[in-house]
Amino acid sequence: MGFLQLFYVASLPVIKVLLVTAIGLFLALDHINILGEDARKKVNHIVFYVFNPSLVGGSLASTLTLESVTLMWFMPINILSTFILGSALGWILIKITRPPKHMEGLVLGCCSAGNLGNLLIVIIPAICKEKGSPFGEPGACHQYGMAYSSLSMAIGAIFLWSYVYNIMRISASKVQKEVNTSNDPSKLKGSGDISESQQYDIDDAYTILLSNTESEEKVPFLDKVKKHLRKISHKFNFTSIFAPSTIGAV
């Protein structure tokens, strides 16, 4: 297969996605005003509560079998590894670039999740059915590719709502606390003397990745990890695990 043909096969599914995105962007422009602010919010609610869980559940039901699940036992470990590696790279990126405080959670969350999402459900069938596809017979490509994509999307949804969402939520709440403290003179006045329970409210799980090691006491690494894990248990929003997408996967 020549380079130009391979480039065409790889580009066409992405171009289709970009065209649909461009149409949505055009409809949302202020001077077009077909999808106004109120309409966008309602469409987002429909996608969140109806379309996305239906897509996850329907894709799993139509593609996964006992045989394919057995063959893809490595998928949860593989996706978890990408989230951990992405978090490490995001932490390094934040340390190097030093973005604003309110952006740190967003950067870390985006680096953790990467491009894992629903795009494979669109791209895989397009590639398999494309003339000159490098992945062999279209039927087998579609069967195994869609099973891989569906399981990837379902496991990714669980990690997104249990891990990435909580990182961004905790980061946002931390920044909000700092803003409230800086705007309240009474809190600034007595900030040097706080109890352990108050310290737990100020610290959070976000510091396990973005802590200022220079200002901390030198303690064994294992003790530091245990301390941060206790903070995570206090701050973690377990209800977010049962988001509609996760329920659709289950």
Query: How many angstroms separate the CA atoms of 34 and 26, rounded?
Result: 9
What is the per-residue pLDDT across 208-240, written as a single tens digit (0 to 9) for each?
445 444 444 566 767 766 776 666 666 666 666
Give me 187's structure tokens.
């809190």
SS3 string of 63-115?
HCCHHHHHHCCCHHHHHHHHHHHHHHHHHHHHHHHCCCHHHHHHHHHHHHHCC
CB atoms < 10 A from the CB of 216, how many? 10
Residues 6 or more apart whose CB falls under 8 angstroms from that of 203 comprise 231
CA angle (81, 85, 87) in 5-degree steps: 120
d(CA 243, CA 65): 24
Q: How does pLDDT run along the chain (250 residues), one tens digit per residue?
A: 567 777 777 787 778 888 988 988 888 888 887 877 788 888 888 888 888 888 888 888 888 888 877 888 888 888 888 888 998 999 999 999 988 888 888 888 888 888 777 777 777 777 777 776 667 777 778 778 888 888 888 888 888 888 888 777 777 777 666 666 666 555 544 444 444 444 444 344 445 445 444 444 566 767 766 776 666 666 666 666 677 877 877 7
pLDDT of residue 172: 75
Q: Is the pTM of this model over 0.85?
A: no
